[in-house]
Amino acid sequence: MTKSATVARSIVEFLVARGVERVYGLVGGHIQPLWDELASQGVEIIDVRHESAAVFMAHAESLLTGRLGVAMVTAGPGLTNAMTGIANAHVARASVLVISGRTPRPQTGMGAMQDVPQAAIVQPLSRRVESVSDRRHVLARLDAVVRSALGSDGPPGPAYIDFPTDLLREMAFDRMVDREWLRPSRTQTMGPDSLDLAEAAALIRAAHRPLLVSGRTVRECSDVLAAFLNVTGSVYLDTSESRGALPSHPAFVPAMRGRAMSEADLVVTLGRRLDFQLAYGSGAAFAAGAKFIRIGRTVDEIGDNRRADVEIKADVGPTLERLLALDLTPAGDRKWREDLVAANTVRTETLAKRLREAPDGADGRMHPYTLISAINDLIDDDTVTVVDGGDILSFARVALKVTRNYLDPGPLGCIGVGEIVSGR
């Protein structure tokens, strides 16, 4: 660490200290000092043709690695071009840091080129927004936005910070900048309440047809999730957030999704909102008398659209571990699960045959199942699968082989996210 450096260098040192290996962006004058420092410090720069693609790529890195994704865009149209990507990351709860430049401080408000209210534009779609104007605040504000992006005090998602170009070129002397902020901070684990655990365990023991529905955070605790399914005799459904987290467990019954949801007498959601993909938790998809246990780190994950019988505001992994330490012997004889697993096997095998034998359409063109069948023969669990589009997504959700690394447009329905890999 140098005893003095430019603000731009300090920012890049901060990113490197947090394990950032690459940044996605499109260069512009307002961020040139950052661009130069990234290159000089060996951080890989993925140069894109449109700023939304930079955010899509950072979004993908976050989902595939579990780390922070970083996008860097220039001022004015650079930021406004990035807004669709930021909206997509916001709805998908992807940990993305968006860095931008802005007009030099002496020119602010004078009609300078690309001088628009950037913070106000991005505020509704960001977990935290910071516009820094003093070198003494640079690292502390960076730490705050990174914490927010990673979900330290709410859901993860995009967070935004910008710096005027002249500030990036200023010297950041040790006497003016507290370099302790370069030290990475850790997101604190949130543990469950003992009374909530006891109430949840009682519902699990009483259940005859238990169902688990997962969100993204189960990717971090797939082993304990598998153990929980084995002990409780639950069946399991993933969602687009958690697809591939536990693809080969016998309790996984994706081909019987509708029946599992409509017949379950206990539904346990794991870090998952009850959004449109789950019919908002309504009786249109779930049994009228079903009990709900909702486990999640945020209020939305435990309380949106439908109140649960037990709401546990905590991290999913530690909560499942604590529950497994209790008596979870279910009341049912597991016949329901056995029937669903058997029906899932039959339907899956029937679909595989349909894929191989799908006839061409009346127009003589290939059926989408023919394409998907050919892809299924090629992909394995290490394949990164990106399904981008409208109708093809519907076919793929039913028929595409489930792999650990899966990406699609997500709940925003943003067609075009395939750009997340085109730059690689």
**pLDDT at residue 240 greater than cutoff 90:** no
For the cut 50, the answer to whether the pLDDT of residue 147 exceeds it is: yes
pLDDT tens digits, one per residue of 39-95? 999 999 999 999 999 999 999 999 988 899 999 999 999 999 999 999 999 999 999
At 176 the pLDDT is: 61
Is it true that domain 194-341 has CATH number 3.30.43.10?
A: no
pLDDT tens digit string along 295-324? 999 999 998 999 999 999 999 999 999 999
Span 393-421, average pLDDT:
79
What average pLDDT does this structure show over 338-359? 88
For residue 268, what pLDDT is reported?
Answer: 97
Say what the alpha-carbon torsion angle 98, 188, 410, 61 is, to the nearest 10 degrees. 50
The answer to whether residues 350 and 371 touch, using CB atoms and an 8 Å cutoff, is: no
Domain regions of the chain by residue span? 4-182, 194-341, 358-422
What is the pLDDT, as a whole number, of residue 175?
A: 59
Residue 188 pLDDT > 50: yes
Exposed (0-12), middle (13-18) or buried (19+): which is 106, by Cβ within 10 Å? exposed
Coil, strand or helix: which one is 243? coil
pLDDT for res 1: 44
Q: Pick from 3, 85, 17: which is nearest to 420 by CA?
A: 85
pLDDT, residue 163, reads: 95
Q: What percent of the chain has pLDDT over 70?
A: 95
Query: Has residue 420 got a pLDDT over 70?
Result: no
- Which of 32-46, 160-174, 199-213 is predicted with the least confidence, judged by mean pLDDT? 160-174
Between 15-29, 150-164, 373-387, the lowest mean confidence (pLDDT) is in: 373-387
Topology alike, domains 4-182 and 194-341: yes
pLDDT at 378 over 80: yes
Of 100-109, 126-135, 210-219, 250-259, give the lowest mean pLDDT range: 100-109
Query: In Å, what is the CA distance from 27 to each residue of 39, 46, 130, 176, 413?
Result: 12, 10, 21, 29, 28
Averaged pLDDT, 239-264: 91
Contact of 423 with 48, CB cutoff 8 Å: yes
Return the higher-pLDDT residue of 178 and 207.
Answer: 207
Residue length of the chain: 424
CATH of 4-182, one of 3.10.20.600, 3.40.50.300, 3.40.50.970, 2.60.40.1180: 3.40.50.970
What pLDDT, on the 0 to 100 scale, is given for residue 120? Answer: 93
- Render pLDDT for 75-91 as a digit per residue (tens, 0 to 9): 999 999 999 999 999 99
Bigger pLDDT: 257 or 113? 257
**pLDDT bucket at 161, cuts 50 / 70 / 90:** very high
Amino acid occupying residue 68: L
Mean pLDDT score across all residues of the chain: 89
